[in-house]
């Protein structure tokens, strides 16, 4: 046996390496490894299977209700964000009010109007602060009322759509 000829073990390892590279079962590099797990079919329950066979046709009125629900849901999200902002502003104003109670009567207090700060006497600053607090309270109340009306209409649409489509529609938000 000469040094130039590979031994039987070396020959097998070289061949197996070549086979691994050209194997058709090897997953391409551009596909994620979890793809096979994500594509697994799931079994339908008997109820899901029955409802799939009895599938209701979507009428124009149904589609309009679905679209209306979607718009209301988007509006609800916007109003909730606005309400959170107003409630944060209200908390900030209450905190400032508590701080102003500790200030001296003769002291000038910086009060923010727009992007500027003005030096105001304590009594004037407290008056403007109470006005701002009342305005924010009114805004919060108005937003809460709007949200209540919106949620009521969404609930009515949910009832109508679930009555028509059952479990084949998902309107949970």
What CATH number does the domain located at 58-165 have?
1.10.287.370
As a whole number of angstroms, the distance between CA 108 and CA 126 comes to 11
pLDDT at residue 36, as a whole number:
47
Half-sphere exposure of 169 (CA within 13 A, CB side): 22
Residue 8, pLDDT score:
52
Domain ranges across the chain: 58-165
| Among the listed residues 126, 137, 73, the one whose alpha carbon sits nearest the alpha carbon of residue 102 | 126
Whether the Cβ atoms of residue 139 and residue 57 lie closer than 8 Å to each other: no
Q: Are strands 108-113 and 116-121 parallel, antiparallel or unpaired?
A: antiparallel
Separation CA 67–CA 45 (nearest Å): 29
**Residues 108-140: tens digit of each pLDDT:** 999 888 899 999 999 999 999 999 999 999 999
Which ranges constitute the DSSP H helices of the chain?
8-22, 35-38, 46-53, 60-101, 122-165
Percent of the chain with pLDDT over 90: 53
Give the pLDDT of residue 107.
87
pLDDT < 70 stretches in the chain: 1-55, 173
For 121, list phi and psi in degrees, rounded to 5. -65, 155
Report angle CA 154, 160, 166 to the nearest 5 degrees: 110
pLDDT of residue 171: 86
Q: How many CA atoms lie within 13 A of 23 on its CB side?
A: 10
């Amino acid at each position: 046996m000469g040094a130039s000829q590979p031994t039987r073990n070396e020959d097998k390892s070289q061949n197996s390496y070549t086979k691994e590279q050209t194997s058709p079962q090897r997953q391409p590099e551009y596909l994620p490894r979890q793809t096979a797990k994500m594509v697994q079919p799931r079994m339908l329950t008997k109820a899901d299977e029955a409802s799939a066979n009895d599938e209701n046709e979507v009428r124009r009125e149904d589609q309009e209700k679905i679209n209306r629900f979607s718009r209301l849901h988007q509006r609800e999200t916007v109003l909730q964000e606005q309400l959170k902002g107003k409630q944060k502003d209200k908390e900030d104003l209450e905190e400032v009010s508590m701080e102003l109670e500790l200030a001296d009567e003769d002291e000038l207090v910086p009060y923010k109007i727009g992007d500027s700060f003005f030096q105001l006497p304590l009594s004037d600053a407290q008056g403007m602060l109470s006005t701002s607090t009342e305005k924010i309270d009114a805004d919060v109340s108005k937003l809460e009322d709007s949200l209540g009306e919106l949620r009521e209409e969404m609930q009515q649409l949910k009832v109508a759509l679930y009555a028509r489509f059952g479990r084949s529609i998902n309107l949970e938000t």
